[in-house]
Amino acid sequence: MFDYRDTHLHLLSDHICTALQLANFWQDVAVDIQKDRIYLPQDDLARYGVTVEDLKNRRLTSQYASLLKFQVRRTKEIFEQGRVLPSLVGGRLAIELRLTWLGGMRILEKIEGLQFDTLTQRPSISTSDKIMLLLKSLISRK
């Protein structure tokens, strides 16, 4: 992509892309359950004592909040593994990658701000968030 052939850059990109997809899963638990889709790992559901019925009934429990807290923390760690990528490429690509990274992290912050309740609320990036993220992506170098 963009004529970059370095396998290390591809690995960093994989971290960002994986974390971005996971953030989307955690953001859309309620949307996905309506479509009979569950992206939360079954072993994690069992470990935290969350059932499919809890999800289908949008039953917000402390167990669900703990499960999402775990997922968000793990996803942030994956994002962090790719954080350096924008500083290793140039031009518009660097800006777009920073914006992508910042946007994904912002969704995770929004989930935290909702006390991990993605069953009754869908976290989203507001217009003011978008402006802030764009400005950060333009001025940031890391």
pLDDT tens by residue, 76-87: 999 999 999 999
- For residue 91, name the pLDDT band (cuts at 50, 70, 90): confident
Write down all domains in the chain, each with its CATH number in brackets: 7-139 (1.10.600.10)
- Would you report the helix, strand and coil content of the chain in percent, each value rounded to 5? 70, 0, 30
Phi, psi of 25, deg, nearest 5: -60, -45
Q: How many residues does the chain have?
A: 142
pLDDT tens by residue, 6-47: 789 999 999 999 999 999 999 999 999 999 999 999 999 999
CA 74 – CA 51 distance, rounded (Å)? 21
